């Protein structure tokens, strides 16, 4: 049911809203999924149009129409190369070609008074859209999924005082200064953005991503087909599902797995499901240390989340040091929806840590603290009652706090100003 704000808008001329994202339907990776749902969910309040690129992630190889209407949203797809994004040079080429195409399309279609929601992936897109919005008299709102240049520092790709960090910091101030507003996906991110925008008086909203409650729910562990397939029904299974990139602390998990592998009679087993630049690190670590308590699985479709998210006793979420306020792993919310406790490796005060503490749905360890992770896992495995209670609270939190309805209501308020 629409809220009061929605019903008021249906009797008036809808303002036009552009949702700009490299990834959009038919992409179902996290950014593509969330931006598609936001656009389609706001059609009752806005005349929504989407400006995006051709599929280049989970749907790479698919050639989508340059222009189509889906679920009330008119979609415009900019031309651009779709080279292998895992090769740095190719990724840069993709960003440049898509950036040029997006810039000219936005100049062509944006109109005075339009509202624009632009996500920060890739990092060049907000600047392209800011220039065209200012030129055409549109008002742009930034949706921060990753904070730059901080993510480069955390990933070890730039120094704190490097020229690239100073350069990006200067242009970020310009970007923030002219924005109608900023939307952060975490409380720690708002804290960082408040420091970065000090003196600019820019409204900052916090709107977390949501759990896919319509498709993800708790299921009986004893009936899980994946656990049966892997022969892990009698093990205490820790699941890491998602991207294994530079910002993710995979090393601490591997160190703990090695110690547990060497313990006689250990019941612990680690399942990594996904892809990313650190996948080769995991493979090499398994081979070098002859580990038998780690299973690697290829990424699986979003439609199979209800199976693989339930194929564990607890789920792992990890970020390296210096990632506080920089990013929030969106899979956290679907772990809650599946009713699984979270074992996190993040800095104290990060959004993941806050989500865990808000409703006592898991434990958090500092990045690099292998002993703390080992202690947390052993404690969980020894207390089945606590594990069940955490899972029940996780599901309740997903239902009451992290629904798409709650998120869309917050987006309406932020974009209507």
pLDDT score at 56: 78
pLDDT score at 344: 98
pLDDT score at 187: 98
Of 148, 151, 120, 95, which is closest to residue 31 (Cα–Cα)? 120
Cα 274 to Cα 35, 160, 298: the distances in Å are 21, 30, 5
The CATH 3.40.50.2000 domain(s) of the chain lie at 4-210+403-416, 221-401
Residue 49: exposure state from Cβ atoms within 10 A (0-12, 13-18, ≥19): buried
pLDDT score at 150: 97
Of 249, 205, 211, which is closest to residue 355 (Cα–Cα)? 211
Give me the half-sphere count of Cα atoms (radius 13 Å) on the Cβ side of residue 270. 24
Rounded Cα–Cα distance for residues 247 and 96 (Å): 24
State the pTM of this model: 0.92
Rounded Cα–Cα distance for residues 74 and 16 (Å): 11
| CATH code at 4-210+403-416 | 3.40.50.2000
Give me the half-sphere count of Cα atoms (radius 13 Å) on the Cβ side of residue 140. 30
pLDDT score at 2: 44
What CATH fold (topology level) applies to the domain 221-401? Rossmann fold (3.40.50)
pLDDT score at 4: 44
Residue 275: exposure state from Cβ atoms within 10 A (0-12, 13-18, ≥19): middle
Question: What order of strands is seen across the sheet that includes strand 73-77?
Answer: 67-70, 73-77, 47-52, 16-20, 115-119, 139-144, 181-184, 204-206
Angle of CA points 54, 130, 123, to nearest 5°: 55
pLDDT tens-digit readout, 164-182: 999 999 999 999 999 999 9
Of 376, 136, 160, 164, which is closest to residue 256 (Cα–Cα)? 376
What length does the chain have?
Answer: 417
Rounded Cα–Cα distance for residues 16 and 369 (Å): 49
Taking only the tens of pLDDT, the chain with its 417 residues reads 444 444 444 435 899 999 999 999 999 888 999 999 999 999 999 999 999 999 877 666 678 999 999 999 999 999 988 777 767 778 788 888 999 999 999 999 999 999 999 999 888 999 999 999 999 999 999 999 999 999 999 999 999 999 999 999 999 999 999 999 999 999 999 999 999 999 999 999 999 999 999 999 999 999 999 999 999 999 999 999 999 999 999 999 999 999 999 999 899 999 999 999 999 999 999 999 999 999 999 999 999 999 999 999 999 999 999 999 999 999 999 999 999 999 999 999 999 999 999 999 999 999 999 999 999 999 999 999 999 999 999 999 999 999 999 999 999 999 998
pLDDT score at 5: 45
pLDDT score at 59: 60
- Report CA dihedral (65, 68, 73, 78) to the nearest 10 degrees: 40
């Amino acid at each position: 049911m629409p809220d009061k704000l929605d019903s008021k808008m249906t009797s008036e001329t809808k303002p036009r809203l552009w949702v700009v994202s490299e990834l959009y339907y038919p992409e179902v990776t996290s950014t593509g999924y969330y931006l598609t749902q936001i656009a389609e969910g706001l059609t009752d309040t806005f005349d929504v149009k989407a400006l995006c690129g051709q599929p280049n992630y989970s749907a790479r190889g698919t050639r989508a129409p340059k222009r189509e209407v889906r679920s009330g949203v008119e979609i415009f797809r900019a031309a651009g190369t779709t080279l292998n994004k895992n090769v740095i040079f190719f990724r840069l080429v993709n960003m440049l070609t898509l950036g040029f195409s997006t810039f000219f399309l936005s100049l062509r279609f944006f109109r005075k008074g339009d509202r624009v929601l632009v996500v920060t992936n890739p990092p060049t897109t907000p600047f392209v859209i800011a220039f065209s919005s200012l030129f055409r008299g549109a008002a742009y709102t930034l949706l921060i999924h990753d904070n730059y240049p901080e993510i480069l520092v955390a990933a070890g790709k730039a120094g704190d005082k490097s020229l690239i960090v100073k350069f990006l910091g200067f242009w970020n101030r310009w970007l923030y200064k002219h924005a109608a507003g900023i939307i952060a996906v975490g409380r720690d991110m708002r804290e960082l953005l408040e420091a970065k925008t000090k003196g600019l008086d820019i409204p900052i909203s916090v709107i977390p991503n949501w759990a896919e409650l319509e498709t993800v729910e708790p299921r009986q562990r004893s009936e899980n087909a994946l656990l049966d397939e892997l022969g892990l029904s009698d093990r205490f299974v820790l699941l890491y599902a998602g991207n294994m990139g530079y910002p993710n602390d995979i090393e601490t998990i591997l160190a703990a797995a090695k110690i547990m592998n060497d313990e006689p009679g250990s019941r612990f087993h680690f399942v990594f499901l996904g892809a990313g630049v650190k996948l080769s690190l995991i493979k090499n670590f398994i081979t070098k240390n002859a580990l038998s308590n780690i299973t690697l699985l290829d990424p699986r479709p979003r439609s199979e989340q209800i199976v693989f998210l339930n194929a564990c006793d607890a789920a792992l979420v990890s970020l390296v040091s210096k990632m506080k306020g920089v990013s929030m792993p969106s899979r956290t919310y679907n772990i809650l929806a599946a009713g699984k406790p979270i074992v996190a490796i993040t800095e104290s005060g990060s959004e993941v840590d806050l989500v865990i503490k808000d409703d006592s749905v898991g434990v958090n360890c500092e990045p690099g603290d292998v002993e703390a992770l080992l202690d947390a896992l052993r404690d969980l495995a020894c207390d089945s009652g606590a594990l069940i209670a955490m899972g029940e609270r996780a599901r309740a939190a997903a239902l009451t706090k992290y629904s798409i309805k709650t998120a869309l209501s917050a987006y309406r308020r932020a974009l209507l100003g």
